[in-house]
Amino acid sequence: MCRTCPAHGCSENRMPLPDHRDVAHPKLLFVKLKHIGDALILTPTLRAVRDIYPQAEIWVVVRKGSEGILAGCSAIDHLLTVASRESERRTVGDFLKDLKLGLHLRRQRFDFAFDLTDGDRGRWMVGLARAARRCVSTTKGSFSRWWGLWMDHQSAPWSGGHRVEKDFHLTSELISLGGEVPRLCFEADRSTVPSAMRGVKDFVVLHPGSRWKKKRWPLSHWLELGRLLLERTQTLVVSCGPAEDERELAREMVSGLEAGRVVSSDGQWSWAELAGCLWRARAYVGLDTAATHLAAACQCPIVAMYAYTVVEQWKPWRTECRLFHPLQWMESWEEVLETPPSEIMRAHDPCRVMEAVEEVIRPA
């Protein structure tokens, strides 16, 4: 049996596998085909690998649309994308491109390849790469004998802790990273200030939208908070994604607040431009979105509201924050899941949110 995964039926005649200490300049592949925020959550692990191996060659594969949020991580040497997960957006051509990418990765002769997707698509990509060591993470226990023929290491099932730690500890099982898990990464010198924000210094960023409507805070609550914030700061920045419903929500906020004191991204800013604002903002208020993780990467003080999110796994990583979630007043997850998310989000009081902002806001 394979010495690292005897339960999976791997061949016992496999050639000896390299130890990370025997590779002076390792070539590593990280595959994480998940949402945008999940891609950013990988960056502490990439930074840690770069610190251990300054000469390493690091390749990363993410879903198309997630690459922009990784533009601020200098630890990445090669950043590649696969087709979006949503079936209605994928074509036969997309599948052929993914296959072509897998074959391209196969030619790179990686020393280590890590699948951090928790799904078959990422495992296929790592299996096609045929690295000397192929590692897979899972949150659902053991996988099938079939995948055991492709992989030589499976992490222990992950059931607790932060998702940043999940990626870090899987990698550490083969490469001794050691020490403290780094912060999320979007380096300030890789950000840029949007033209609408040049010369604006005293501002707070709000991000009211989410692709999942169940995560949203009521518009009336945002407007009440916005009025309170304009008593404390000169300008509000309303950030939103490019989806039309998010842009419409941002427009409603702009029209409902004091004219001339609200700037909207209108879904047009890049992640680098939003990062340029967050590095300079006095505070950020948002929801369970990629923008909240970006605020953490930019070390911007955060106030965030949650409904069904397991906060301990997804909260802003290693930054000043104040969080609102239903387990602060409900007795159990059963009670939470029996309550409509809109009711939970409505219960987050704007005045209490403003009090939390007062606790973390930076001086003007």
In the chain, where the domains are located: 6-172, 193-360
Whole-number pLDDT of residue 118: 85
3-state secondary structure of 141: coil
Q: Is the pLDDT of residue 1 over 60?
A: no
pLDDT at 183 over 90: yes
Torsion, Cα 296 298 301 305, to 10 degrees, reads -40
Helix/strand/coil (H, E, C) string of 275-324? HHHHCCCCCEEECCCHHHHHHHHCCCCEEEECCCCCHHHHCCCCCCEEEE
Q: Do domains 6-172 and 193-360 have the same CATH topology?
A: yes
Mean pLDDT within 90-115: 88
Q: Tell me the per-residue pLDDT of 190-241, one tens digit each, with 9 for 90 and over.
A: 999 999 999 999 999 999 999 888 999 999 999 999 999 999 999 999 999 9
pLDDT, position 148: 63
Mean pLDDT of the chain: 89
pLDDT, tens only, 231-241? 999 999 999 99
Q: How confident is the model over 320-349, as pLDDT tens digits?
A: 999 999 999 999 999 999 999 999 999 999
pTM, to two decimals: 0.91
Longest dimension (CA), the chain: 72
CATH architecture classification, 193-360: 3-Layer(aba) Sandwich (3.40)
Question: Residues for the chain: how many in total?
Answer: 364
Closest to 49 (Cα-Cα) out of 185, 238, 209: 185
**C-alpha to C-alpha distance for 289 and 50, rounded to whole angstroms:** 27
CB-side neighbour CA atoms (13 Å) of 243: 10
So what CATH class is 6-172? Answer: alpha beta
pLDDT recorded at residue 309: 94
